[in-house]
Amino acid sequence: MTGGVADAVFSGGGVRALAYAGALAAAEAAGYTEWHELAGTSAGAITAAALAVGYDSRTLTERLMDFDLATVAEFGWPRRVAQLSNLLRHHALAGGHSLLGWIEDLLAEAPRPARTFGELGMTLRVVATDLVHQRMVVFPDDAGRYLDPQGIPWTPAAFPIAEAVRMSAGYPFMFAPWRLVDAASGQPGALVDGGIVSGFPVFLFDQPEPKHPTWGFRLDGEQTHGRPIGGPGWPVNLLLALVETSIGVHDRVAAAAFSERTVVIPTGAIPTLQFTLAPADKQALWQAGHDAAAAFFASGPTGQNIYGQRPPAATLPASPTAAVTRPRPL
- Provide the Cα torsion 6, 11, 15, 16; round to 10°: -70
Cα separation of 194 and 206, whole Å? 20
The per-residue pLDDT for 244 is: 59
The per-residue pLDDT for 146 is: 97
Radius of gyration in angstroms for the set of CA atoms belonging to the chain, rounded to a whole number: 19
The per-residue pLDDT for 329 is: 45
CA distances from 239 to 186, 229, 234 (A): 28, 9, 9
Cα separation of 30 and 170, whole Å? 33
Q: Report the alpha-carbon angle 193-39-8, nearest 5.
A: 135
The per-residue pLDDT for 243 is: 60
Cα separation of 256 and 253, whole Å? 5
pLDDT averaged over 10-residue windows placed end to end, the chain, 330 residues = 80 87 96 93 93 96 85 59 56 73 95 97 91 92 96 97 92 81 94 71 88 92 58 63 58 64 88 76 94 95 90 69 49
- Cis status, amide bond into 312, omega within 30 of 0: no
Torsion sign (Cα): 229, 233, 239, 240? negative
pTM: predicted TM-score of the whole model, two decimal places: 0.84
Q: What is the DSSP string of 15-55?
A: GGGHHHHHHHHHHHHTTEEEEEEEEEETHHHHHHHHHHTT-
Phi, psi of 285 (to 5 degrees): -65, -45
The 3-state DSSP class for residue 112 equals: coil
Torsion sign (Cα): 222, 87, 101, 215? positive
